[in-house]
C-alpha cells in the first residue's frame, strides 16, 4: 500500500493492521485501555514540539496523534459503537454549534465574549444530557494533569460567582499559603500546604489568562537549557561537579542567564 495524504488511506491501513491473521499481532492485542497511555503521550509530544518551535517535528507528532484517533475509532467500529466518520461528524457538529457567531446570527462578538459563549453552550450541552450533572464541577476528567485540572475546576466555580472579586485577593492568598508552608512541621503538613500554594498559584495564572502547564513547561525548559550550559562550563574547566565550588557553579549559572 502506498503512502497517501488522503485520510481514507490512514483508515484503510488501520483496518488492515487490525484484521485477524493478516494484520499486526501487536495491534490486534490492543484495547482502548492499553492504547490510552500512548494517546496521552503523543499529545504531550505535540506540545513539546510546539514549545521547542520544532515545526517539522510537530508535523510528525500530529501524525502520531492522528493515528491514535484512527486506532480508537477502528476498535470502536469493530465493537459496533461508532466509526471514524462518526468522530468527524461529532466534532464538526460541535464546532458549528459552539460558533454561533460564525455559523449563526450572533455576530460581532469580542474574543472574551466568544469564550464566555463557548462555556455557556458547553454548560447547556451538559444539562441536555440524559443524566443531568449534580455539580458544576462534574465532567472535569480526574486524569488531567494536576495544574490543568485545578485551573478547570477553578474556572467552573468562578462561573457561578465563587471567585475573588479582585486579583489582589488571589495574591494575598498566595502570601498566606507561603506563610503556612513555612510553619509546616511534618511531611504531611508540608505536602498539604504546598498543594494549597500550587492551587493558589494556578488561580493567579487563571486570572491573568496564563496557562499554568505552559508556564511551568517553559520554565522547566529554560532551566534545562541553562543547566546544560553549566555542565558544559564545568567540563571546559576540567573539573567535575563534585570538585567545583558552589560559588563557581553560581558564576556559571549567572553566565548562562545572560544567554537565555
pLDDT tens-digit profile of 160-199? 899 999 999 999 999 999 999 999 999 999 999 999 999 9
Q: What percent of the chain has pLDDT over 70?
A: 98
**Whole-number pLDDT of residue 170:** 97
Q: Identify the band that residue 126 occupies on the pLDDT scale cut at 50, 70 and 90.
A: confident
Give the mean pLDDT of 50-67. 94
| Highest mean pLDDT out of 43-47, 68-72, 115-119 | 68-72
Q: What is the pLDDT of residue 131?
A: 67
Instruction: Inform me whether the pLDDT recorded for 130 exceeds 70.
Output: no
pLDDT band at 136 (very low <50, low <70, confident <90, very high): confident
Distance in angstroms (rounded) separating the CA atoms of residues 96 and 88:
12
Categorize the per-residue pLDDT at 143 as very low, low, confident or very high, splitting at 50, 70 and 90: confident
Q: Are 193 and 181 in contact (CB under 8 A)?
A: yes
* Torsion-angle region of 105 (φ positive above 0: left; ψ -120 to 50: alpha; else: beta): alpha
> Out of 5-14, 63-72, 130-139, which region has the weakest mean confidence (pLDDT)?
130-139
User: Would the pLDDT of 124 be above 90?
Assistant: no
Q: 253: how many CB neighbours lie within 10 A of its CB?
A: 15
pTM: 0.68
**Above 90 in pLDDT, residue 51?**
no
Place of cell 444530557: 129
Amino acid at each position: 500500500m502506498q503512502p497517501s495524504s488522503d485520510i481514507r488511506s490512514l483508515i484503510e491501513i488501520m483496518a488492515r493492521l487490525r484484521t485477524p491473521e493478516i494484520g499486526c499481532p501487536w495491534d490486534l492485542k490492543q484495547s482502548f485501555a492499553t492504547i490510552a497511555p500512548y494517546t496521552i503521550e503523543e499529545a504531550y509530544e505535540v506540545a513539546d514540539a510546539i514549545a521547542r518551535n520544532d515545526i517539522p517535528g510537530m508535523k510528525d507528532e500530529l501524525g502520531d496523534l492522528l493515528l491514535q484517533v484512527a486506532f480508537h475509532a477502528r476498535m470502536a467500529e469493530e465493537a459496533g459503537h461508532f466509526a471514524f466518520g462518526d468522530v468527524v461528524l461529532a466534532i464538526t457538529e460541535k464546532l458549528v454549534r459552539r460558533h454561533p457567531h460564525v455559523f449563526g446570527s450572533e455576530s460581532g462578538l469580542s474574543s472574551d465574549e466568544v469564550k464566555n459563549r463557548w462555556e455557556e453552550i458547553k454548560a447547556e450541552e451538559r444539562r441536555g444530557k440524559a443524566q443531568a450533572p449534580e455539580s458544576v464541577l462534574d465532567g472535569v476528567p480526574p486524569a488531567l494533569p494536576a495544574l490543568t485540572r485545578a485551573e478547570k475546576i477553578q474556572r467552573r466555580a468562578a462561573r457561578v460567582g465563587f471567585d475573588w472579586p479582585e486579583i489582589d485577593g488571589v495574591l494575598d492568598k498566595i502570601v498566606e499559603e507561603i506563610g503556612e508552608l513555612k510553619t509546616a512541621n511534618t511531611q504531611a503538613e508540608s505536602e498539604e500546604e504546598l498543594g494549597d500554594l500550587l492551587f493558589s498559584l494556578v488561580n493567579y495564572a487563571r486570572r491573568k489568562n496564563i496557562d499554568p502547564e505552559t508556564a511551568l513547561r517553559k520554565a522547566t525548559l529554560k532551566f534545562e537549557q541553562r543547566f546544560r550550559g553549566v555542565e558544559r562550563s564545568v567540563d571546559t574547566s576540567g573539573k567535575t561537579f563534585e570538585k567545583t565550588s558552589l560559588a563557581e557553579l553560581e558564576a556559571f549559572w549567572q553566565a548562562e542567564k545572560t544567554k537565555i
